[in-house]
Homo-oligomer: A and B are copies of this chain.
Amino acid sequence: MTSLKQAVLATTALLFAQGGLAQANELRDTALETFDPVPATVPAQVDNPITPEKIELGKALFFDPRVSASGVFSCNSCHNLATGGDDNLETSIGHGWQKGPRNAPTALNAVFNGAQFWDGRAEDLKAQAKGPVQAGVEMANTPANVTQMLNSMPQYVEWFEASFPGEDDPVTFDNFAKAIEAFEATLITPAPFDAWLNGDDAALGEAEQAGLKLFMDKGCASCHNGVNVGGHDYYPFGLVEKPGADVLPEGDKGRFAVTETADDEYVFRAAPLRNIALTAPYFHSGKVWDLKTAVQIMAESQLGEEMTDGETDQIVAFLNSLTGKMPEIVYPVLPAETADTPRPSGDVLVEDGNKKDLSDQ
């Protein structure tokens, strides 16, 4: 190859790269009007200063199955940090082998949601943390039993004292929830999409960038935006065309149960899409296992769009770029029970209000 030819080729490549760069910059500028990268530090929480002690305590509580009445389920059972922060079940199996009503959302990056649960009924993570503990189909426990359990173990009492210094009686259900919030606030998973938003052109390939562009152009980003690519606002499922009753069961009217407003029938919080490739099955009903199918259902029901196969693939490629890097979590060593620790019970409340040991059936 002559050196002239080399020079020409090099110049062409440079110009081409610059052209690509300009396009990428334009796409990035548009994207930055719609999305935000995850922050580099743990975000502050309302009325809950985050300290290393509180994070460690929250981690212990998150992994402690004694938080449930049966001693079988921890927060991590349904929000498993080994599998994308959820349990990969249609709906979770809880106390007495009962099925929960809705698909368990991921705990990863949940700190960036505008509110918690599919219907947004908890305003933040500390409010959310109190729910499953008391739900009869989940942990079936009571705040009194949880604090008795925690108070029975001197190591837990010490950890609460270190996490809530200056409080006379730090072992409370409120503080239990605050510690879990502190731990969950650390569950942030920076993804290739964040690196790209932050200026790393190589972090997204062509298909991912094309998918991102489509995601914005087609209107997906009207609901799925912000740092969590969703998780902020409420929309009817079936804005244009109601999906079948298999995907949208009639009995679950979503946010209507929270607001009792007719407009909120079948309204749900737009799902946050970070790590969506890890958290099948999809939708509040958990009836759809394939991400591509889920994208197609969304396109039809929310946008009235029939996307081509190629378009759907590109959007899935973009969604894959939201799969992030898990923080390293050292599995906790929990305090040992004492004589005062409440004994686990797998009994289930039956219709007459009595408890029944269903496990022997």
Contacts and interface: CB of A to CB of B under 8 A. Distances in A.
A303 interface: no
A278 B336 contact: yes
Contact of A71 (B89, B328, B358): B89
B99 A332 contact: no
Contacts of A337: 88, 280
A358 to B, nearest CB: 6
Contact of A83 (B70, B84, B97, B334): B334
Interface in A279-294: 280, 289-290
A359 B66 contact: no
A282 to B, nearest CB: 12
Nearest to A137: B359
A333 B278 CA distance: 11
B83 A77 contact: no
B344 A333 contact: no
A359 B289 contact: no
**Count of chain copies:** 2
Category for how many chain A residues contact B: 35 or more
A81 interface: yes
Nearest to A328: B330
A152 interface: no
B331 A97 contact: no
A331 B81 contact: yes
Interface string A24-63: 0000000000000000000000000000000000000001
20 contacts: A63-B82, A64-B83, A65-B80, A72-B89, A72-B93, A81-B331, A82-B333, A83-B334, A83-B336, A84-B336, A88-B344, A93-B346, A96-B97, A97-B97, A97-B358, A97-B359, A289-B339, A290-B339, A329-B331, A330-B330
A-B interface, 10 closest residue pairs, ranked by CB to CB distance from nearest: A97-B97, A99-B359, A329-B331, A82-B334, A278-B336, A331-B331, A326-B333, A97-B359, A72-B93, A83-B334
